[in-house]
Copies of this chain bind each other. A is one copy, B any other.
Amino acid sequence: MRMSEGVEWALHACIALDWIGDRPVPTAKLASTFELPAPYLNKHLQALARAGIVSSTPGPRGGFRLARELRQITLLDVVTAIEGTEDAFRCQEIRQRGVGAQAPKSAFRKRCAIAAAMRTAEVAWRRALEAQTLADVRDAAALDAPQAAANVRRWHTTNKEN
């Protein structure tokens, strides 16, 4: 099971947008920050916009900016914006097939015990994603790589032709 690489791109894009400051950043410029293919990054930025995480300004001087502060964006917000809200484990009710087809419908009123157990783990994962904001991640990154924010900001103010 593999998460879309769009989640990684979207998380880096949000933190870069915070570092760059409150102005619209064109997709191509944002993509070049990490040497990402702009059309694919754009697809993910559109998904973030639909989720209200970034906002889009049209026009030649347009682009994307954060729609709210990083402390108001959780990892779960970004993961569900890119991956959707469906659980990774999707019960196909195979208990109702074969031998199960002969049982009365009342035997299946409650969620399948296997699906319920898998759901417990999914909830633990989602809670752990929800407990962390992008501000937490930005602050942790600042401890490990104190120059990263300034480097990205400088690159975005001095490489205007990109």
Residues of chain A touching chain B, judged by Cβ–Cβ distance below 8 Å, are 1-5, 7-9, 11-12, 15, 32-36, 75, 83, 86, 88-92, 94-95, 97-103, 107-108, 110, 112-114, 116-118, 120-129, 132, 136-138, 140-141, 144-145, 147-148, 151-152, 155
A4 to chain B: closest residue by CB = B1
A-B interface, 7 closest residue pairs, ranked by CB to CB distance from nearest: A125-B125, A121-B128, A124-B128, A113-B141, A113-B140, A35-B97, A34-B94
Copies of the chain in the assembly: 2
Question: How far apart are A153's CB and chain B's nearest CB, in angstroms?
Answer: 10
Query: Interface on chain A toward B: helix, strand, loop, or mixed SS?
Result: helix
The one of B3, B128, B132 in contact with A88, judged by C-beta atoms closer than 8 angstroms, is B3
- Closest residue of chain B to A125 (Cβ to Cβ) is B125
Q: Which residues of B contact A125 (CB under 8 A)?
A: 121-122, 124-125, 128
